[in-house]
Amino acid sequence: MAQTLDLMTGDLSPDPFLERTSAGRSMDVHVLGAHVRFTSDSAALLNVAAMAYAGLPPHVLPMTPPSLHVELRLAPARDVAAGQEPPLVSMQSGAGFLCGVMDASNYAVLFPEQHRALVVASPDMLENPYYLRYELIEFSVFTLATRALGLAPLHGACVGREGRGALVMGSSGAGKSTLALHSLLRGMEFLSEDAVFVHPQSGMATGVANYLHVQADALRFVEDAGLRRWIEQSPMIRRRSGVEKHEVDLRDGHGRLAQTPLALACVVFVSRQPADDPDELIHPIPEHQIIERLVAEQPYAASQPGWDALVQAVKRGGAYELRRGRDPAASVDALLRLLG
């Protein structure tokens, strides 16, 4: 993908596959219970990795932490219109590797058995690094760590109290991010907003507490002027869906980041449906319906090893539906009561 060769003419570079490219620089971080070393020939690419993983609490899971290696490589410059959204990532696998490809200059190749990945990016991606970070670098690290540690990858948020966590699930727009924001502002331990990884055998949940994404209309519920200003001054990102949100870096001292993995205490399915009684927002989900709800919310995780153990962990803690109350504060109150 890095260059085109004409094998018939013999016009070959001495190093056509860039096998002797020197990484030159490195950065070590602790993510999801794994040690990750990033190497690169580009300080700018390492800085994008730091935007994702620098300054996070070093979570430790009940196992020997594996070492993962992610090489970041800068591709030659290309001619692309300013502000153009990169193509959607296309997934593929074969011969022991996994890959996610945007185009010929932006892709990730993963070798899970070797705990290694290569991420290639074009210079223009550095001007708006959200997609590079989120869809190539984080994709690589999360996939390697999930396979190496045997974690169940879940789409959802997780907040906690005194070491016990509530895994928050729900469809897009149901209010997961708003609930996570107000839980953070109320002093709850924040684990993750978008992706949670559970060690099924121990029931411990880990995640990356780097950013929280907040829509502008959610600010009307933030009463503290200083906190509202903190969010408003954060950069705006644009999701693939077209929704724009403030990307709030949580590592600057606001809120409590979970310093250790949280013990999975319960699963909460956030619903758009208003509560019939504003004082009764939480409703238990019958045990015979839990598996159906989980599979509907987490189809990828349901196909992975460890799913049965995860389901049993959820059943032990219980699953609940959280309907909408008068305001987000009422939802946080309900969550706090659930966590005791």
Q: Please give the sequence-ordered ranges of beta strands (E in DSSP) within the chain, or none if there are none.
A: 25-31, 34-40, 67-74, 90-94, 97-103, 106-111, 116-121, 152-155, 157-161, 164-169, 189-192, 195-199, 204-207, 211-214, 236-238, 244-249, 256-257, 262-274, 282-284, 319-324
Q: Are residues 129 and 239 in the same domain?
A: no
State the pLDDT at residue 1.
Answer: 45
The last residue of one of the domains, among 149, 175, 199, is 149
pLDDT at 255 over 70: yes
Q: Are residues 254 and 184 in the same domain?
A: yes
Q: Are residues 284 and 139 in the same domain?
A: no
pLDDT in tens, 259-313: 999 999 999 999 988 898 888 999 999 999 999 999 999 999 999 989 999 999 9
Q: Are residues 122 and 163 in the same domain?
A: no
Q: What is the C-alpha separation between 109 and 91, in angstroms, rounded?
A: 10
- Assess if residue 201 is contained within a domain: yes
Q: Are residues 299 and 315 in the same domain?
A: yes
pLDDT in tens, 106-135: 999 999 999 999 999 999 999 889 999 999
Closest to 282 measured CA to CA, from 326, 319, 328:
319
- Assess if residue 17 is contained within a domain: no
- Assess if residue 184 is contained within a domain: yes
pLDDT in tens, 155-179: 999 999 999 999 999 887 778 888 9
Helix (H, G, I), strand (E, B) or coil at 52: helix
- What's the total number of domains in the chain? 2
Give every CB contact of residue 13 below 8 A, 6+ residues apart in sequence: 3, 5
- Assess if residue 18 is contained within a domain: no
Q: Are residues 70 and 90 in the same domain?
A: yes
Residue type, 277: D
State the pLDDT at residue 258.
Answer: 96
Q: Are residues 129 and 114 in the same domain?
A: yes
- Domain span at residue 300 reads 153-339
- Assess if residue 19 is contained within a domain: no
- Assess if residue 145 is contained within a domain: yes
Q: Are residues 310 and 328 in the same domain?
A: yes
Q: Are residues 138 and 162 in the same domain?
A: no
The last residue of one of the domains, among 110, 125, 149, is 149
The pairing of beta strand 116-121 with beta strand 152-155: unpaired
pLDDT in tens, 23-82: 689 999 999 999 999 999 999 999 999 999 999 999 999 989 999 999 999 999 888 777
Which tokens is 148 given?
A: 């190496």
CATH number at residue 324: 3.40.50
The last residue of one of the domains, among 125, 149, 173, is 149
State the pLDDT at residue 195.
Answer: 94
Q: Are residues 135 and 176 in the same domain?
A: no
